[in-house]
Structure 1
Amino acid sequence: MKIDRRSKILEIISRKEIETQEELAKELRGEGFHVTQATVSRDIKNLQLIKVLSATGRYKYVANKEESKDAISKLVTLLSHTIISVENIDKIVVVRTITAAASTAAEAIDQLDLAEIAGTIAGDNTIFMLVRSNEMAVEIVKKISELVGR
């Protein structure tokens, strides 16, 4: 739930100018999340959001681009060290990992926030990803293979 909420926060701040924690909490509640201002405050800290002056003269929350680039780099490194193979079977992408790494790799894939992926399920050394279409599944295999250098 925390991952979903944080993904939703990033989505909200990318499409709206959110100036306060209370505005963000209100938006999240409108999306069906039951949150308090304290929860939003912790999420802002964990996501390392910063405030910048917008074109309208208001301050708004944005993702720290440098932190995001560094985080993505770390996720790609993690994936390149754990993924053995990637293939698609219709709308399902099957990712094989080294033993005991599937859960961590699935979390890293979830953090990449790829819109084509509806969800992931991880076992010990295998991840199943449900992708929104057969064509998107082919693209996801290509993206992940390129990311991990396979």
Structure 2
Amino acid sequence: MGTGKTFRHGQILRLVNGERIGNQEELRRRLAAQKMRVTQATLSRDLQELHLVKTQEGYKQASALPEEPTPLPPLARALAEFLLDIRPAENLLVLKTPPSGAQPLAAAVDAAKFAEIAGTIAGDDTVLIITTTRKTRESLQRTIEALVK
């Protein structure tokens, strides 16, 4: 399996260095055109391992970018890439994403380890965040909205 991953990483780098690739879906389609089928979760992991970040000009290697004072935390990056809408409901927070966007966004939310969160559930285009109370949901919602701005 190691050689397949190494080869795939090489192809990803070749694609992003050769042309503007604006999002993961576009990159996934380009790889599929080269007979490389990858899941969105695998592609997300590959981008992280390769230190590729999304810029105005498409994906670039972090090392090739001018130094930023503080890189975006993974949750802010995931929210910027996947979040379409936030819908509050009592102690629940529903995050809407494009198709296949819920899993990577939920993983980033989980990794942020918010004390307010009792649990998260991710479908294809929806992340359900369960908080302990309405008050904790409001606090979490404010935090997430602040990261998006």
Instruction: Return the TM-score normalized by structure 2.
Output: 0.50
RMSD: 1.5
1:143 corresponds to which letter in structure 2?
Answer: T
Map of 2:85 onto structure 1: 85
**Structure 1 residue 80: Cα displacement:** 1.2
Q: Quick check: 2:74–2:108 contact (8 Å CA) kept in 1?
A: no
**Structure 1 residue 135: Cα displacement:** 0.6
Residue by residue, what CA displacement relative to the aligned partner does 1:90-124 show, whole Å, maximum 9, x if unpaired?
11110001211101100000000000000000000
Map of 1:106 onto structure 2: 106
1:75 corresponds to which letter in structure 2?
Answer: L
Instruction: Return the TM-score normalized by structure 1.
Output: 0.50
Q: How many residues align?
A: 80
Pairs within 5 Å for 1:1-150: 73-149=73-149
Question: CA separation in 2, counterparts of 1:129 and 1:78?
Answer: 15
SS of residue matched to 1:75: helix
SS of residue matched to 1:94: strand
What 5-or-longer segments of structure 1 have no aligned partner? Answer: 1-68
Q: Quick check: 1:118–1:130 contact (8 Å CA) kept in 2?
A: yes
Map of 1:35 onto structure 2: none
Residue by residue, what CA displacement relative to the aligned partner does 1:45-93 show, whole Å, maximum 9, x if unpaired?
xxxxxxxxxxxxxxxxxxxxxxxx86x6233112211001112101111
Q: Quick check: 1:79–1:148 contact (8 Å CA) kept in 2?
A: yes
Moved over 3 A (4+): none
What 5-or-longer segments of structure 2 have no aligned partner? Answer: 1-69
1:105 corresponds to which letter in structure 2?
Answer: L
**Structure 1 residue 127: Cα displacement:** 0.6
Q: Quick check: 1:86–1:144 contact (8 Å CA) kept in 2?
A: no
Question: CA separation in 1, counterparts of 2:78 and 2:106?
Answer: 11
Question: CA separation in 2, counterparts of 1:89 and 1:74?
Answer: 25
**Structure 1 residue 134: Cα displacement:** 0.4
1:80 corresponds to which letter in structure 2?
Answer: A
